[in-house]
């Protein structure tokens, strides 16, 4: 809400945020697992990570007018691989070698390394806008812009589905393989972890492919198509609970590809529709509200599963991309859409 990514130098915000996030994360080791201490630290971690992800996207937009969708798609693809990696570690049996304090220490060192990379090797691009003045009301006023509002609504529908899917697909795969009697005990857990890594990780090439297509065919076309596919896969995946693991994983992998493929294109669209000197603020606002929505949908899924079934829970997630696709179709009809992807709506 502060718009700090547009007020201060972008690289400085990224580096400082990553370093403070690393420190806050590292302090978890001293809590001994006490949630009264750990939860405030996790809250602060979320605050400072807001200076990393949207700011990283802003740095990317400073280098690309053409092929911006592909560039941000590669960035989001890297995020997707990061989301898949813990499940891969669990699946191949390495998790037992690492105590949780060592995992926390390793992730903090990773954040320090990211700060060092940006500080030493990254430079502002030729299309980066100069810092602007503080305007605490800009983010909310931006919602009055019809085109920005529709692009944000599309992203919000996408986020309603994305992190709930990433959070619960491992549990779904485990329960499904157990229900199918294909495996049990420790083997079922190992296979579910490996399948979850594959399903989530499949989204990385999906991000790159969607970026290539969106830059050539249009942002609204690709985002609406990806949401139509992901929403359909959500419904079908839930209905296949307990069926042949090969079939379940195949459909879930299609969901994993489509559920994240459009993500970068919403951010690219925001960067093209917003005022050049407010791109950082626009991206930060978009991601902040989107991630807030995930906190709701993540909690709803297990409640629906307990009261009904996985099919209803995943069907509930499909509502988000359905509404998001409608928003992007409406954006395509607006005159401002000519600013997307060099005129490719």
Decide if pLDDT at 96 tops 70.
no
- Residue 302 sits in a domain of what CATH number? 1.20.1250.20
The predicted structure's pLDDT at residue 182: 65
Q: Is residue 231 part of a domain?
A: yes
Q: Is residue 308 part of a domain?
A: yes
Q: Is residue 307 part of a domain?
A: yes
Q: Is residue 187 part of a domain?
A: yes
The predicted structure's pLDDT at residue 43: 93
Decide if pLDDT at 185 tops 70.
no
Q: Is residue 184 part of a domain?
A: yes
Domains of the chain: total? 1
Q: Is residue 20 part of a domain?
A: no
Q: Is residue 244 part of a domain?
A: yes
Q: Mean pLDDT across the stretch 235-245?
A: 93
Q: Mean pLDDT across the stretch 19-25?
A: 95
Decide if pLDDT at 164 tops 90.
yes
Q: For residues 305 and 186, which has the higher predicted lDDT (pLDDT)?
A: 305
Segment among 127-131, 239-243, 320-324 with least mean pLDDT: 127-131
The predicted structure's pLDDT at residue 6: 82
Decide if pLDDT at 12 tops 90.
yes
For every residue of the chain, which 3-state class applies, written as one string? CCCHHHHCCHHHHHHHHHHHHHHHHHHHHHHCCCHHHHHHHHHHHHHHHCCCHHHHHHHHHCCCCCCHHHHHHHHHHHHHHHHHHHHHHHHCCCHHHCCHHHHHHHHHHHHHHHHHHHHHHCCCCCCCCCCCCCCCCHHHHHHHCHHHHHHHHHHHHHHHHHHHHHHHHHHHHHHHHHHCCCCCHHHHHHHHHHHHHHHHHCHHHHHHHHHHHHHHHCHHHHHHHHHHHHHHHHHHHHHCCCCCHHHHHHHHHHHHHHHHHCHHHHHHHHHHHCCHHHHHHHHHHHHHHHHHHHHHHHHHHHHHHHHCCHHHHHHHHCHHHHHHHHHHHHHHCCHHHHHHHHHCC
Q: Is residue 9 part of a domain?
A: no
The predicted structure's pLDDT at residue 201: 94
The predicted structure's pLDDT at residue 97: 65
- Its domain, for residue 259, covers 65-92+136-340
The predicted structure's pLDDT at residue 339: 84
Q: What is the pLDDT confidence band of residue 171, given thresholds at 50, 70 and 90? A: very high
Q: What is the pLDDT confidence band of residue 45, given thresholds at 50, 70 and 90? A: very high
């Amino acid at each position: 809400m502060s718009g700090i990514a547009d007020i201060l130098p972008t690289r400085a915000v990224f580096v400082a945020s990553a370093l403070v996030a690393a420190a806050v994360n590292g302090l978890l080791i001293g809590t001994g697992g006490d949630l009264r201490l750990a939860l405030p630290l996790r809250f602060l971690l979320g605050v400072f990570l807001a200076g990393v992800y949207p700011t990283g996207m802003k740095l990317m937009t400073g280098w690309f007018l053409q092929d911006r969708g592909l560039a941000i798609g590669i960035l989001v693809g890297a995020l997707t691989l990061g989301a898949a990696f813990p499940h891969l570690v669990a699946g191949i049996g390495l998790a037992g070698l690492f105590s949780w304090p060592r995992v926390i220490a390793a992730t903090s060192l990773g954040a320090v390394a990211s700060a060092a990379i940006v500080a030493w090797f990254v430079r502002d691009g030729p299309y980066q806008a100069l810092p602007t003045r503080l305007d605490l009301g800009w983010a909310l006023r931006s919602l009055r812009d019809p085109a920005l509002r529709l692009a944000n609504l599309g992203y919000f529908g996408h986020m309603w589905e994305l992190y709930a899917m990433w959070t619960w697909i491992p549990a779904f795969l485990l329960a499904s393989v157990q229900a199918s009697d294909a495996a049990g005990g420790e083997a079922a857990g190992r296979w579910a972890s490996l399948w979850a890594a594959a399903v989530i990780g499949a989204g990385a090439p999906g991000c790159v492919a969607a970026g290539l297509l969106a830059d050539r065919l249009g942002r609204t076309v690709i985002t609406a198509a990806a949401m139509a596919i992901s929403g359909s896969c959500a419904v079908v995946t839930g209905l296949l609970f307990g069926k042949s693991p090969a079939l379940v994983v195949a459909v879930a992998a299609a969901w994993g590809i489509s559920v994240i493929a459009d993500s970068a294109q919403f951010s690219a669209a925001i960067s093209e529709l917003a005022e050049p000197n407010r791109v950082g603020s626009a991206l930060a606002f978009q991601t902040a509200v989107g991630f807030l929505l995930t906190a709701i949908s993540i909690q709803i899924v297990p409640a629906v599963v307990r009261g009904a079934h996985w099919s209803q829970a995943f069907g509930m997630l499909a509502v988000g991309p359905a509404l998001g696709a409608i928003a992007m179709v409406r954006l395509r009809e607006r005159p401002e859409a000519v600013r997307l992807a060099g005129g490719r709506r």
